[in-house]
Amino acid sequence: MKSKIGNTEIEIIKADITSLETDAIVNPANNFLMHHGGLAALIVRKGGMIIQEESRNIGNVPTGGAVITTGGKLKAKHVIHAVGPRYKDGNSGEAEKLSSAVKSSLEVAEKKKLKSIALPAISSGIFGYPIDKSSEVIVSAVISFFREKEKNKESSSLEKVILCLYDEDAFNNFVKAFEKIMKN
């Protein structure tokens, strides 16, 4: 599934994010940038300890924030570490913090003048954010980011944004959210 907003193409795919040849992939990180579990651990395993070492040098990142390191041995040149929220009850600011993590990732990519980025289902793994809810927040954050640019007649360095999901359920939830939000 693809759509274009301004000069940016947004696509949803089912794949292993660590295999993509984008300028950056997004790592759903914790505040301490210690990549010991889930997708974060896989990114370090495939990209090398340089990613963890650079992260350690950065230090703590607030929830909703994002920082960038090199991609090590990954096909992606960079890894953007986005800190999403742990899911509590849905009424503790989780949606705002998740939306902020997505927008922070896109802003970091633009600041570096990157042309392509791939984002996973941030906070939906170890952090327990239900996929049906996180997909709506993430898709909405991406679409509103680029609609705002289009409204302000600004172009983006990002020509391609990939929402990359690993399993069928996540993929289907993102497609459903995308179709719903693009109609509005």
CATH of the domain at 64: 3.40.220.10
Q: What are the pLDDT digits (tens) for 139-159? A: 999 999 999 999 999 999 999
Position 184 scores a pLDDT of 76
Q: What is the pTM of this model?
A: 0.96
**pLDDT score of 27 more than 90:** yes
Over range 67-94, report the average pLDDT. 97
CA–CA distance from 133 to each of 56, 82, 94, 123, 137 (Å)?
Answer: 31, 18, 10, 11, 7
Q: Which helix (H) or strand (E) holds 14?
A: strand 8-14
Position 54 scores a pLDDT of 97
Residue range(s) defining the domain that contains residue 123: 2-183
Q: How would you class 47 by CB atoms within 10 Å of its CB: exposed for 0-12, middle for 13-18, buried for 19 or more?
A: buried
Rounded to whole angstroms, the Cα distance separating 30 from 27 reads: 9
Q: What are the pLDDT digits (tens) for 92-138? A: 999 999 999 999 999 999 999 999 999 999 999 989 999 999 999 99
Q: What is the mean pLDDT of the chain?
A: 96
Q: Indicate the pLDDT class of residue 1, thresholds 50, 70 and 90.
A: confident
Q: Indicate the pLDDT class of residue 50, thresholds 50, 70 and 90.
A: very high
Structure tokens at 59: 């230090």
Q: Indicate the pLDDT class of residue 33, thresholds 50, 70 and 90.
A: very high
Q: Which residues of 54-81 are buried (b: 16+ CB within 10 A; e: fewer)?
A: bbeeeeebebbbbbbbbbbebebbbbbb
Considering the chain, what percentage of its residues have pLDDT values greater than 70? 100
Q: Are 165 and 120 in contact (CB under 8 A)?
A: yes
DSSP-assigned beta bridge partners for residue 10? 3, 161
Which has the closest alpha carbon to 143: 84, 103, 96, 98?
103
Domain count, the chain: 1
Over range 38-47, report the average pLDDT. 95
